[in-house]
Structure 1
Amino acid sequence: MPESPSPPWLRGLLEPAAYPHATGPIELRETHISWVLLAGDFAYKIKKPVNLGFLDFSTLELRRWFCTEELRLNRRYAGNLYRAVVPITGSPEHPRVSGTGSAFEYAVAMRRFDDAQLFDRLLDAHRLLPEHLERLAETVAAFHASTERATAADHHGLPERQQQAAEINFTTIHPRLDDPFDRTRLDALWAWTRAEFARRAPLLEQRKQQGLVRECHGDLHLGNIVLLDGQPTPFDGIEFNEDFRWIDTMSELAFLAMDLEARGEVALAYRFLNRYLELSGDYPGMALLDYFRLYRAMVRAKIAQLCRDQAGTAEGKAHWLRRYRGYVEFGLRLIKGKRPFLLITHGVSGSGKSHLTARLADCLSAIRLRSDLERKRLAGLAAEAQSGSGLGDGLYSAAMTERTYQYLAATAEALLAAGHSVIIDATHLKHQQRLQQRRVAERCDAAFLILDCQAPRELLRARVRSRAAAGTDPSEADLAVLEQQLAQREVPTEDERPFVVTVDTSQPQAMEGLPERVRKFLESIPGMAAP
């Protein structure tokens, strides 16, 4: 916690008499830009009178305005948390919250919640689950789909403004470093950021034209998400700087992914990313993920340095320096990169491909493409929609199948070219379909493997019947489709055998050990590091 001089009236707000409701013991918390008072069922957030360049709370009128903005913006996704902007009146000796008379300060009044339900606390307690990240991804995807979009005519999200925000991180940090070793490491990240921006600026501009710059949360890290009434709820979004919230949606995802990865929770990061991508289809944006992940790591590094400045003890300063260096270490690992891989599945409906690939995507830090979802997206249908297509026609005609596989190959190639490993969940029953994906891997210098999923026929039939009865899976395959697949499938050829990893999905032990088998297979390929 930063330790900085506080105004005299803040002490008065530690007294229950300052509030219009019962409080019990009052707790004061502090960040580098605000004080938060926890009083009974409410929390009151007061902005510090600071000007840090990227934010300006230096006057009362500015603080009042930004309190109003904070309320407006955060009610978009946390309306049950944010209550009102309230005046602080009275005198510095006897302040009153929501009192009468002239205000000498303002606060944002919020519903108080249990800190143990914050995502960072849940993670520390080993209680943050994959399903929490999936539900959060659904919340964020729905929010991004509905929030206001920048237009081609406005200044929001222009590539040069994005890079300016990235530069601010470095220019804020650099003069605060007193160790030449720290400066050298920061300079390496700064140089990479400039080079990557030059490489990605056309894509940033294209995405602005496409409406993918939106009024986002802007500060989506684990400490700003709470499990509220069982629902993952973002809060405390950016109000103080338009450029920090009018951003490419991929920048929003990158912050949470970075925060999880920097804490060693890579599998949870990829569970979040994959669920969001399934819903949004924004695979082209993944070419920007590394640029934005480093940008977000430097945001946290900058805050660590600001907190170090405000720390009043040597121990406090050392704590924040360690935090800063942790984000730098993450950045250095990120820019080093590694050779990607392409894993495709081979197997009929009901052979367990989707179950296995969901787990492998988490364990192996890969982006998963699902043919059943992408086929429907290409047809303009929701994942859960039933097309009513018959065997071999409509959504499942030969032409639509060809179009789907072409899309999967093109999307995988773009992801691999951007440095991301890819898993394609599709039947790949034809040799030509598998060869198409193998050629993609070769063009991208990516490792390639085929996951051959097998199960006894009666189990396949039982799974297909059960899935159809549930009606919750994107696949519309029925028993007739299964029988056709079994009759027409082309087993891997001799020249494909070196790339095949076979798994009997009727055997739980085989499925449990699969991630390690795949990892060892990849490690045996020259130039591949452990995923």
Structure 2
Amino acid sequence: LIQHPMLENIEHLKGHIDWQELEPLATWTGDSIEALWPILLLRQDEGFVRECHGDLKLSNLVRLESGIVAFDCVEFNAELRDIDVISDVSFLVMDLVSLERQDLAYTFLNRYLERTGDYEGMTVFALYYVYHALIRAKIAAIRSLERKNTMDAECDIEEMTFYCDVAREWVNRDRPKLILMHGFSGSGKTWLSQQLLSCMPAIRIRSDIERKRALGLEEQEGSGSGVGTGIYADDARRDVYARLGKLAEALLDAGNNVIVDASFLEREHRRRFRGLAERLGSGFSIVDLRAQRDFLERQLRERDRAGRDASEADVAVGGHQFEHADPLDDSEANVAVPVEMDETVDADAIVRALLETQR
């Protein structure tokens, strides 16, 4: 069972690290296992624990012409590769973050979540992330004892300390922030949120993908919907915002920054999400995307011709939005970061503004 190797990491490190430094990680690990135990078992029952790679790190990936391929899985021990899929994912994310490639880590993590819909896995993600960081620390500590060369042993101890710091930084993250993308179809919400998720970093939830997932449709599969019909009908729109709210709450509760990629043209939906952030004690901001109507219509036509986007909103849908949208009120404008999308966009500057924006 997973709690044994997690607690074993702590036991191995006791002889190498001052207990005052290790105790917070030990306490956090024990408390997390206890709190998440029912969810860990539920994920096993639901089939998320299965044969995986078992050692999904950068040194076990190779780029071929056909794409990136994983190799050298754990073949010698079935128990080490029969794990929760989110554990495999968390190892690669931790490896990338430790090498200061947060951008790649969150691009990979978000794409995994969008493809699989396993947002519930983020509830236990932090536990596995810290677990893999402490495995790296434990291995370095054990290796230091086997060294005959003092300098090599000292390097191992430095590596052990480094990975303990990686774990500690994750545990001590700032309070999460909820960010709403706000803008008409074609304004570039998905493009901009892609830049922001790797800079902040954050988990993004896309309304275009979730509304299709609810209907059993693939990301780029057409539904034949028009203005006010199918996936754009009033009841379907209410359902998708309810789904987005449920996912956002779980992600925030697990300590993640969250970007909700939806139009949020109705004040009712914006107020509901702002209330969620206030209830959870999370930060709250709105990214207000602005553009001229001819720019939006041009973007919608180009997107429709390309046929590579999950959104099916066309010029007719965009026109309907213009007629029925609720503008931001004063209280919303106070927490909004305006972005002129028909000008050069500086994602880093937007992130800085978001982090400075108060509720």
Band of TM-score, shorter chain: over 0.9
SS across alignment from 1:214: strand
Amino acid at match of 1:488: H
Amino acid at match of 2:4: Q
- The answer for the alignment partner of 1:346 in structure 2 is 182
User: Does residue 8 of structure 2 align to residue 168 of structure 1?
Assistant: yes
User: Does residue 166 of structure 2 align to residue 333 of structure 1?
Assistant: no
For the Cα contact (< 8 Å) 1:185–1:328, is it kept in 2? no
- The answer for the alignment partner of 1:523 in structure 2 is 356
SS across alignment from 2:338: strand
User: Does residue 100 of structure 2 align to residue 301 of structure 1?
Assistant: no
273-282 vs 163-172, which deviates more? 163-172
| Separation of aligned partners in 2, 1:280 and 1:497 | 35
| Separation of aligned partners in 2, 1:480 and 1:390 | 8
For the Cα contact (< 8 Å) 2:226–2:317, is it kept in 1? no
User: Does residue 218 of structure 2 align to residue 378 of structure 1?
Assistant: no
For the Cα contact (< 8 Å) 2:93–2:106, is it kept in 1? yes
- The answer for the alignment partner of 2:266 in structure 1 is 430
| Separation of aligned partners in 2, 1:302 and 1:206 | 29
| Separation of aligned partners in 1, 2:124 and 2:348 | 27
377-386 vs 493-502, which deviates more? 493-502
Offset, 1:352: 0.9
Q: 1:245 aligns with which of 50, 56, 81?
A: 81
Amino acid at match of 2:7: E
| Separation of aligned partners in 2, 1:340 and 1:172 | 32
TM score, norm. by length of structure 1: 0.66
Offset, 1:414: 0.9
Q: 2:94 aligns with which of 245, 248, 258?
A: 258
| Separation of aligned partners in 2, 1:254 and 1:439 | 30
Bigger-Rg structure (1/2): 1
SS across alignment from 2:224: coil
- The answer for the alignment partner of 2:53 in structure 1 is 217
Q: 2:338 aligns with which of 463, 479, 502?
A: 502
Offset, 1:184: 3.4
TM score, norm. by length of structure 2: 0.96
Offset, 1:261: 1.2
Matches within 5 A, 1:23-422: 161-175=1-15, 177=16, 181=18, 183-422=19-258
For the Cα contact (< 8 Å) 1:165–1:244, is it kept in 2? no
Going by fraction, where is helix more abundant, 1 or 2?
2
SS across alignment from 2:286: strand
Amino acid at match of 2:350: R
- Residue deviations 1:364-418 (CA, integer Å, cap 9, x gap): 0100011000000011100010011222111211111100000001110111111
For the Cα contact (< 8 Å) 2:284–2:335, is it kept in 1? yes
| Separation of aligned partners in 2, 1:382 and 1:214 | 24
SS across alignment from 2:2: helix
Q: 1:476 aligns with which of 306, 312, 330?
A: 312
Distance 1:271-1:424 versus aligned 2 partners, 3 A rule: same
For the Cα contact (< 8 Å) 2:49–2:84, is it kept in 1? yes
Amino acid at match of 1:515: D
SS across alignment from 1:389: coil
| Separation of aligned partners in 2, 1:257 and 1:348 | 33
For the Cα contact (< 8 Å) 2:187–2:296, is it kept in 1? yes
477-486 vs 305-314, which deviates more? 305-314
Offset, 1:230: 4.8
Instruction: Report percent identity of matched pairs.
Output: 38
Offset, 1:363: 0.3
| Separation of aligned partners in 2, 1:383 and 1:306 | 46
For the Cα contact (< 8 Å) 2:285–2:357, is it kept in 1? no
SS across alignment from 1:380: coil
For the Cα contact (< 8 Å) 1:452–1:503, is it kept in 2? yes
- How many aligned positions are there? 359
For the Cα contact (< 8 Å) 1:340–1:421, is it kept in 2? yes
For the Cα contact (< 8 Å) 1:341–1:448, is it kept in 2? yes
SS across alignment from 2:180: strand
- The answer for the alignment partner of 1:140 in structure 2 is none
| Separation of aligned partners in 2, 1:193 and 1:281 | 26
| Larger RCO (CA under 8 A, 6+ residues apart) | 2
Offset, 1:521: 3.9
For the Cα contact (< 8 Å) 1:162–1:243, is it kept in 2? no
C-alpha RMSD of the superposition: 1.5
| Separation of aligned partners in 1, 2:43 and 2:311 | 31
| Separation of aligned partners in 2, 1:523 and 1:483 | 34
Distance 1:302-1:239 versus aligned 2 partners, 3 A rule: farther
- The answer for the alignment partner of 1:58 in structure 2 is none
For the Cα contact (< 8 Å) 2:55–2:88, is it kept in 1? yes
- Residue deviations 1:216-275 (CA, integer Å, cap 9, x gap): 101111111111335211111112333321111111111011111112221211111101
| Separation of aligned partners in 1, 2:336 and 2:173 | 26
- The answer for the alignment partner of 1:456 in structure 2 is 292
| Separation of aligned partners in 2, 1:220 and 1:475 | 32
| Separation of aligned partners in 1, 2:259 and 2:132 | 26
- The answer for the alignment partner of 1:465 in structure 2 is 301
